[in-house]
Amino acid sequence: MKFAIPLSVAAIILAQPATAKDTRFWNLTSSTVKSLELAPAGTSAFGPNQCANDPDGAVDHDERVKVTGVTTGSYDARLELADGRVCMAKAVRVETGKPFSIEDRDLVGCAP
């Protein structure tokens, strides 16, 4: 009986859902991003457009958007910018529950 109370308290604490922070993309490019797709680095297995998680479907300069379906790792990002260019950012480090950013200097292979 003397273990009942501590065990009950431990059970309640462990049953609480974890309050994890969202993984977010922080757009530090000089352009609005209309599409952001992530693939494990070195592959072409791009996932869904993460900009769809934003209410207006685009991520303006210095805006953040929730990213879903990715875990900690290195990713290649494919971005479509408001001016119509499609660019890549290679080996972007993503950590679950933390923001990651992409800047103009990270963009390569931009094509109209």
Range of the domain at 55: 21-111
The answer to whether position 16 is within a domain reads: no
The answer to whether position 41 is within a domain reads: yes
The one-digit pLDDT tens for each residue of the chain (112 residues) are 555 555 454 545 444 444 469 999 999 999 999 999 999 999 999 999 999 999 999 999 999 999 999 999 999 999 999 999 999 999 999 999 999 999 999 999 999 8
Structure tokens at 32: 């609005």
Residue-wise burial string across 7-46, b where 16 or more C-beta atoms lie within 10 A, e elsewhere: eeeeeeeeeeeeeeeebbbebebebbbbbbbbbeeeeeeb
The answer to whether position 63 is within a domain reads: yes
The answer to whether position 79 is within a domain reads: yes
What's the domain count of the chain? 1
The backbone region for 58, taken as left when phi is positive above 0, alpha when psi lies in -120 to 50, beta otherwise, is: beta
CATH of the domain at 49: 2.60.40
Beta bridge partners of 64: 26
The answer to whether position 7 is within a domain reads: no
The answer to whether position 107 is within a domain reads: yes
